[in-house]
Structure 1
């Protein structure tokens, strides 16, 4: 086997080395870059110098830096899963030495693809995971491209222990290790991302497209140097860098799809250009952008349930929703970097992502609560006299924007290092349109329902067809809402690493801190008009088109003309009556200042690495919300709090062999309450016949978690992994949402549960079957399974219950993918599944606890490298046409049932 290896100093690097040596004549630093035969960096490579008894790991750009106090001949050895070990002799002198190491494939490899392959992407991820001090999961950019995942949430669903929460079939929020979505944080290049939504700290990850990514790093056990507000884990989205390659690099992709529902098409494209320049190519610039637009239709039926005075479960309303939705994503990111010498760099990075959801919704409603339930009705079938029928069109445009920016750098100071940065993050959520026009039928029919088949219940309305008598509808009301939320955060951070000799043992001591200053403003305006003067000039009939409105097998009549509806909205919005209380009490303001300081020490005892340290975070919170007295007087209620918490940490990494790694960690984390839950806010909302009153709780305490993590990982040669990781989280003051239903009114308030726990086990297996003969050696598998157990203990019993499941926690989740890669062709068939999980607790009535049904989805991808620079690909998504289902208490009591159909996407990727 012949391994191409570039000698210690190519001309450009030798010049850089000599220059640096003159500038710092007494410095003795060994640095370099490890890459493949195409010049692509190899991150996570283990770089060992036996003579110095030292080792280090390459970063995302394949670069490394290590002290070299000795002089003379040494050997630099590189170990990288998926490739043969490589080594080269280096002569150390009293100056900086720079090496450039190429690690090609083995001679026995029959993989001739020059672009990134499935195996290459797996190797990049596994090498980084293997070398990490703590428990992390890595997803590389090209690996994301091998799945049909258009946004970050969907890309993360393939990682062990991560489930996603969907909106209209598309991933939006993530649950790490069965924990609620707020228990994880998201950063872009280290800058904390502020949440666009006014109701949660969780990040709408469907806002951020997956094609801006160079690397996704999921940290599941934190170190003292990391922010403590990630009980479940932290996701860092690393964007691309000009230093990912040696010189000019262009990559692009474009494609379109066919969508099963509606026969519509999606479009998607991306472009990234980068280059390095300067005498030693020490400057880098990168510009990248992406655009996607989806045109989707889906079927959706929602049933609101309640318990009447006689204790019977009955329908309150049924809503048949016919959606026409367009979703658009735009992203831009750029970076300027200066790396005058190894280990010294300055950077300025910025990113922008925008997500626009533009939907028209035709809705047919049956208001059972307006009628009287007949004798002989049961929990699953009933007859009501004197019901009401309504027809509505809504035009809603939601727009999320996320900006991040950071400037910073790092510099070597002797054998130590200092890192520093200043960052800014801003998220906006606006609703340019949230307009509704409602018509009500004068007919008051006797109607019945039967839920013998909860996925396809029968409603007598579609036999008697009173809803099709368009001339019996009259104007009921218009409604307008305008929402604006601005969430912005400034951050400053610094970290110093210095080697210290303690009794003959060299210890790397780190200390530093981070200051974060966040402000949130949420403003909402609500209008509604039922006056006769607000009615349109024409009846419902004049608004109807000749296009059928259908939902599953239900004939809803004809769709309302969106153009005519918009014309009506634009003409009447300014004159609409204002609903003063709700328009004001939905608002709030909040500010939060966090100062975090840490100190930690890292020592290596042979193959054992021990990290011990502590973090302290002080939090100052202030919030306010408007109040409206009975006489209409508007006031303001204020709240404030201050607290400090300590977060001790012990992390141990044991390398039994280079391939067998054990990890153990004791840590502590925090989850601060959602801003909207802390402010003294009370919001009264009425949707059709249901009223929902949501209150804030200024006395909420942050959730604290004492964590234990332990794992064992075996890295299979040439590329593979078998691992088992266990975790336990002891929760104090877990925050949950308590719902109480009284008649047709739902009262919602956040509360603290004094005690709880979350425990689980993750099992992971990745391997290519290279031991099989001939063509069969191209097969491989990705599989992981996570089992969790969790509960919370409430401060008091509700309806005889004090112990509850943890909302957002699926008992099990798993991924399985079979792939094939041989020569220029690869394909993958993947299935992901999570089990049912609790969505909301009803304090008075266990039968009305709201659950999400577990959902599985089958996807497939294939690609063929036509030439070195171009690859064609095809993606198939949701081949199982799996529904999204929510239910109350038992599966037979369906609250929401919707389907989205499959989509097939094809396109081309180009790399120059």
Structure 2
């Protein structure tokens, strides 16, 4: 891809860099201007031609970093387009300090410096983007990386930034026509093969751009498909023995039997069956599941830009970005729930009271149970996401002023259709840990079954369909004004900048459920009568393409179950529909007005030139939440009554920022930064609603009074820019984070009647009320970040063409007490160390790259608010080979996860695995042509 980049410095000493097929016009609204000595009246224009070279794209990324006033890193179009990735998230993982969260082999969300994804703020063409997720984090898997041209990750904000982000801000830019000096037409296509599904998926994209005098127009488009299979022995989790020990009335036999077995087989004497601090420390395996997933995706994305640029003093640009992401996931699950409501312990074969003894926790690692709930689940999840973004940007330089205005809209709509066909068999079973998770086998009881091959024992329970519609909209308007200064009484003051930003954000959710129990809406004859054997069964190895389940394991189970296609055709009877329920509705409206002012200084300390940016931002936020409360019917009947509720909330904050750059030598730069930043709570947590989880004996309330999570942070570092275009950098940073949003017990509803699925009374219980709150106190995160980007030919002539691009981030954090059992845990999503290492070679005809990305273990969730569940450390090797057939045509061969790594996890300690997941390799062969 031939790309022309213009780097323009005007007489005001401001740098507005048109970097590769994207621009830094957004820098005018963020204050990220290169600070330097004023230049002469005439313009200085430097043209740099990047011809599909990975090394040159790295050089341009270094230029962006060097010219920024704060800490930042960038990735440009050649790197995004040419490195193997399945979406934008995976393209970003090679940037310093950036890692991703993976779901079934696919990168989905971005972590900056290993902090949780919700701590990262994301913009596209200067606008905060919507993606239809429930939180503030962006689901990057919906974006096609082929239509993105430049991405900058800012790690130290200025006062002009919209949020700043506790972890950082990801700024995405698409292409504009005046980024090129001539007509451009680029076409590419590829086919990608997955080693497990054995399917080949197509992808194609194009970009066309031209200018016509003062006008320019550009369009780009990308479309791709993905069929990926994942085999997973997963779903293993802890369940406290209080599950049965608290039983009373007609179910008290479960408590008495469990208490007796604990003392007989493990020597554990329970002093008080209702003392949860004691009973929650004796745990067993709640569930073991074998699952096969088939994930099918269709994705397209398009951008358009219309630009009017009659002179160097005025530029008007209309940007549009549209796309669609349709994702269908079939899940076939054979599961065993030891903790069924009618079960109890029968025999303990093995237990572990040493591994977690520091927390007083005993784990029953191998036990038989009286009535395990065996389930065959055929689940289908259909996600349809449409996103749009429009913006109009004006950049005007009347005289010695610079005025930048932007208005825009960002929206996403997501429709989710989820179904679950459930067949159940109750029978004695034995469940135990294995090296990779767990397994359920027949017990010694004469009533036990082979859970995988007893279709006549499984009764149809229900076919449940949930329909959910999410609308996420955001309108924004901003104005930035910059005035260079040359004051005799303060010669160091180079410029001042001030502005405002108004945003109006709304998230609305509708949801409904319809549960099928018979051939018509009024007929429930299937429940308890129809068996699994009455449906058409298909071996799981045929339900998903690619052959045997866990084909590399000779001990992997084999089973047959109902296909989702058959379930949809059979159980969605004529006239079937799903109506949205009032009690599932919520909406959150949020308005934000931000005012800021900042100043840039240029001066010398001795012989050291210094550029300083200081500023302050005032943020005023108001929130209005609508929702429903669910309470049990007062007449004692089965079900819950809903009543609408609404509530207002608000908060104000003053956020300062400081960024400094000092040129210690021609190629040696010192940076320092300090700021206070914030991240707003997820809109789903603000929504004023109450929902109930009858199986967990809990109510969940929204909290409109939630305030943002705040961080006070500082960083300093050294950057060396060798003459050969490389970069060696090191920085140290600290963050003090307070007001972290966490779930907390805030009340109790007494004497709630819990009903079984058949309408009979299960019992009367006290239901806990849980609500998201801002946690008290704070925790500290400190870290070291190292970057090495170097052409090895500078060291030894024989290595000309070779180079490395590596980065390493190490974190240290104070522990938080999110576990109700006081098991110390780091914040969810935070990994202690991450690193990326790429070695590459290129010449005029051939290029090759191999990359290794590593992310340390991190807490994925706190199970039942007690037991931290970790995602294990993960490393993945990707590669790319390119051969230029002609000056205009290039062929590529790319590989993702070429060493076929698995994803694993565990609860508290690796001795208690929770997941073992394979998603396979992905190999892609492609060709790109430039005209």
Spell out the pairing of 1:155-170 with structure 2 (5 A cutoff). 155-170=91-106
Alpha-carbon distance in 2 for matches of 1:190, 1:55? 19
Task: Give the match for residue 347 of structure 2.
Answer: 375
Distance 1:55 1:561 in 2: 62
Counterpart in the other structure of 2:263: none
Give the aligned partner of residue 17 of structure 2: 58
Shift of 1:531: 5.4
List alignment gaps of at least 5 residues for structure 1. 1-35, 66-79, 81-89, 105-113
Task: Give 1:254-273 correspondences, 5 Å limit.
Answer: 254-273=189-208
Contact 2:156-2:164 at 8 Å conserved across structures: no
Hey, what does 2:87 align to over in structure 1?
151
CA deviations on 1:636-655 (whole Å, 9 max, x unpaired) are 12221122111112211112
Residues 255 and 267 in structure 1, CA contact (< 8 A), matched pair in contact too: yes
| Structure 1 pair 204–64 and aligned structure 2 pair: CA distance change class (3 A) | closer
Structure 1 residue ranges, 4+ long, deviating more than 6 angstroms after superposition: 61-65, 689-692, 739-747
Q: Distance in 1 between matches of 2:698 and 2:928?
A: 49
Deviation per residue, 1:647-693 (Å, 9 max, x gap): 1122111122342111111211111111111233222246xx76775
Q: Distance in 2 between matches of 1:99 and 1:765?
A: 30
How far apart are 1:316 and its partner, in Å? 1.7
Further displaced range: 806-815 or 500-509 = 500-509
Show CA shifts across 1:489-510 (max 9, x none).
Answer: 1100001111223315152111
Cα deviation for residue 207 of structure 1 reads: 0.7
Please state whether the residue corresponding to 1:467 is helix, strand or coil: coil
> Which residue of 2 is the match for residue 428 of structure 1?
413
Q: Within 5 Å, which residues of 2 pair with 1:646-685?
A: 646-685=654-693
Q: Which residue of 1 aligns with 2:390?
A: 405
The 5 A counterparts of 1:535-614 are 540-541=532-533, 542-545=535-538, 548=541, 551-552=549-550, 553=553, 554-571=556-573, 574=576, 583-606=581-604, 607-614=609-616
Structure 1 residue 892: Cα displacement: 2.3
**1:764 aligned residue (777, 783, 787):** 787
Query: After the TM superposition, which residues 292-691 of structure 1 pair with which residues of structure 2 at under 5 Å, given as runs?
Result: 292-300=224-232, 301-309=234-242, 310=279, 311-370=281-340, 371-377=343-349, 378=351, 379-431=364-416, 433-441=417-425, 444-453=426-435, 455=436, 457-461=438-442, 465-502=450-487, 503=489, 505=491, 506-530=493-517, 533-534=523-524, 540-541=532-533, 542-545=535-538, 548=541, 551-552=549-550, 553=553, 554-571=556-573, 574=576, 583-606=581-604, 607-631=609-633, 632-685=640-693
Inter-CA distance 520–822: structure 2 relative to 1 (3 Å threshold): same
Matched residues, number: 817
Taking the aligned partners of 2:490 and 2:746, their CA distance within structure 1 comes to 64
CA distance in 2 between counterparts of 1:466 and 1:601 reads 70
Map of 1:904 onto structure 2: 923
Partner of 2:838: helix, strand, or coil? strand
Cα contact 1:480–1:573 (8 A) shared by 2 = no
CA distance in structure 1 between the partners assigned to 2:15 and 2:44 by the alignment: 14
Counterpart of 1:211 (choices 146, 150, 153) is 146
Alignment correspondent of 1:750: 772
SS state at 1:230 partner? coil
Would you say the 8 A contact 2:101–2:111 is kept in 1? yes
Equivalent residues in 2 for 1:781-792, closer than 5 Å: 781-791=804-814
Residue 160 of structure 1: CA displacement?
1.4
1:864 corresponds to 2:883: yes
Shift of 1:735: 1.6
1:892/1:792 CA distance change after superposition, 3 Å: closer
* Distance of aligned partners of 1:777 and 1:737 in 2 relative to their CA distance in 1, 3 Å threshold: farther
Q: How does 1:156-195 map to 2 (within 5 A)?
A: 156-195=92-131
Q: TM-score, normalised by structure 2?
A: 0.83
> Counterparts of 2:584 and 2:626 in 1: how far apart (Å)?
11
Residue 9 of structure 1: aligned partner: none
Which shifted more, 649-658 or 546-555?
546-555
Q: Output the CA distance in 2 between the equivalents of 1:800 and 1:437.
A: 38
**In structure 1, C-alpha distance between the alignment counterparts of 2:880 and 2:185, rounded to whole Å:** 23
Question: 2:347 aligns to what SS in structure 1?
Answer: coil
Find out whether 1:131 has 2:67 as its counterpart: yes
Q: CA deviation at 1:437?
A: 1.6
SS class of match (2:576): helix
Q: Which residue of 2 aligns with 1:831?
A: 852
Equivalent-residue separation in structure 1 for 2:89 and 2:171 (angstroms): 12
Q: What is the CA distance between 1:340 and its match in structure 2?
A: 0.8
- Mapped to 2, the partners of 1:326 and 1:452 lie a distance apart of 31
Q: Which residue of 2 aligns with 1:6?
A: none
Residue 838 of structure 1, CA deviation: 1.5
The 1:748/1:169 distance shift into structure 2, 3 A limit, reads farther
Which residues of 2 match residues 692-731 of structure 1 at below 5 A? 693-731=699-737
Q: Does structure 2 conserve the Cα–Cα contact (< 8 Å) formed by 1:194 and 1:488?
A: yes
Distance 1:496 1:214, change over 3 A: same
Please name the residue that 1:813 is paired with: 834
Distance 1:740 1:457 in 2: 35
Q: Which moved more, 1:469-478 or 1:534-543?
A: 534-543
CA shift for structure 1 position 740 = 11
Deviations 1:484-535 (A, max 9, x none): 1111011000011112233151521111110001111111112224458346
The more displaced of 368-377 and 322-331 is 368-377
Q: Which residue of 1 aligns with 2:53?
A: 117
Contact map agreement 1:461 1:467 (CA 8 A) in 2? no
What secondary structure, in the 3-state scheme, does the structure 2 residue paired with 1:568 have? helix
Q: Distance in 1 between matches of 2:442 and 2:848?
A: 48
Write the deviation string for residues 714-734 of structure 1: whole angstroms up to 9, x where unpaired: 112212110011111112212
Query: Given that residues 119 and 719 in structure 1 are in contact (C-alpha distance below 8 angstroms), is that contact kept between their aligned partners in structure 2?
Result: no
Is residue 42–residue 124 contact of structure 1 (8 Å, CA) maintained in 2? no
CA shift for structure 1 position 633: 4.0
Q: 1:740 and 1:633 mapped to 2: Cα distance?
A: 21
CA-CA distance at 1:871 after TM superposition? 0.6
Match of 1:15 in 2: none
- The 1:192–1:624 alpha-carbon spacing in structure 2 relative to 1, beyond 3 Å, is same
Corresponding residue for 1:25? none
Which of 281, 285, 291 is the equivalent residue of 2:223?
Answer: 291
1:799 to 814, 818, 821: 821
Asked whether the 8 Å contact 2:630–2:690 carries over to 1, the reply is no
1:234 to 158, 164, 169: 169
Could you tell me how far 1:471 is from its partner in structure 2? Answer: 2.9
1:96-117 superposed Cα distances (whole Å, 9 cap, x missing partner): x56654467xxxxxxxxx8321
Q: Secondary structure at the match of 1:383?
A: strand
State the shift of 1:271 in Å: 0.9
